[in-house]
Amino acid sequence: MTSRSSIKQQIQRVREQAIVVAVNRLLATKGYDAMTVDEVAAEAGMAKASLYKLFTSKEELAGAAMVGVLDRALAFVDGLRDAAREAAEAGSPTRPLDQLKAVTRWAMQTQLEGEMPSLPAQNSNLSASLQSNDAYMDRLIALSNRLSIWITEAQTSGQLHAALPPELVLYTLFARACDPVVALLKESGQYTNAQIIDWVTSTTFDGLAAAR
């Protein structure tokens, strides 16, 4: 009995994952409004009715995809933190500023790979739905907290402009994660991904102006 139910649950998990992967790609390529639930079902290889057994609305689909990226971001951040801890014990501490840069680069890489889902900034229904989505909010807050620690440390140690509100720095990092500039440079087809990441990271932290 338990094994039967466990197998069913496994199958269900697999189908859920197929859906989330499809949603992630569609959100990354077409955006929320242009994405239709029919497309999601088709790309996940099942009927729309089956999809609606697992997710109750289009908004919930978006929420699940966002939970997915936030989990990946948290895993990356925790990896960085652990590496920094080891490095510190080995006598070569990591600067918080470099951790923030690494996260930024990870986000841009994800975007360049077409794996960064992005939602419309202005959509009150969707925003409301996300804000009442506990799985999403927990991860968003967890990620914000981890980043805020590095931001504050970098400001205290004079690596980040201390006059800026930490909030502004945090928002800026989130905004750069889906910066249209990255997509525009990629579309131009003239630059390598590595080049794009270097440049946009550089403008984010050091600005457009020449070194002073």
Partner DNA sequence: GTCTATAGGTCGATAGAC
Partner DNA sequence: GTCTATCGACCTATAGAC
Shortest Cβ distance from residue 117 to DNA (Å)? 15
Question: Binding partner of residue 120 among DNA, its own copies, none, CB under 5 to 8 Å per kind?
Answer: its own copies
Count, residues near its own copies per rule CB under 8 A? 47
Options 87, 141, 184, 194; binder of its own copies; rule CB under 8 A: 184
- Take residue 124 and report the two structure tokens written for it: 């009150």
From the list 47, 83, 87, 175, which residue makes contact with its own copies (rule: CB under 8 A)?
A: 175
Residue 78 touches which of its own copies, DNA, none (Cβ within 5-8 Å per kind) = none
- HSE, side-chain direction, 13 A CA sphere, residue 108: 29
Q: Which of 31, 59, 78, 193 binds its own copies (CB under 8 A)?
A: 31
Residue of the chain from 50, 88, 171, 192 that contacts its own copies (CB under 8 A): 171
Residue labelled with tokens 């501490």? 93
Within 10 Å of residue 181's Cβ, how many Cβ atoms?
14
CB burial readout 92-130, b (16+ within 10 A) else e: eebebbebbbbbbbbbbbbbbeebbbbbeeeeeebeebb
| 58 interface partner picked from DNA, its own copies, none, CB below 5 to 8 A per type | DNA
First to last CA, the chain: 70
Q: What φ, ψ does residue 63 adopt, rounded to 5°? A: -60, -45
Contact pattern from residue 77 through residue 116 relative to its own copies, giving x for each residue in contact according to CB under 8 A and a dash for the rest: --------------------x-------------------
183 binds its own copies (CB under 8 A): yes
Ramachandran area for residue 114 (φ above 0: left; ψ -120 to 50: alpha; else beta): left
d(CA 63, CA 110): 18
Residues of this chain that interact with its own copies (CB under 8 A) are: 29-31, 33-34, 97, 118, 120-124, 158-162, 164-165, 167-169, 171-172, 175, 179-181, 183-185, 188, 190-191, 199-200, 202-212
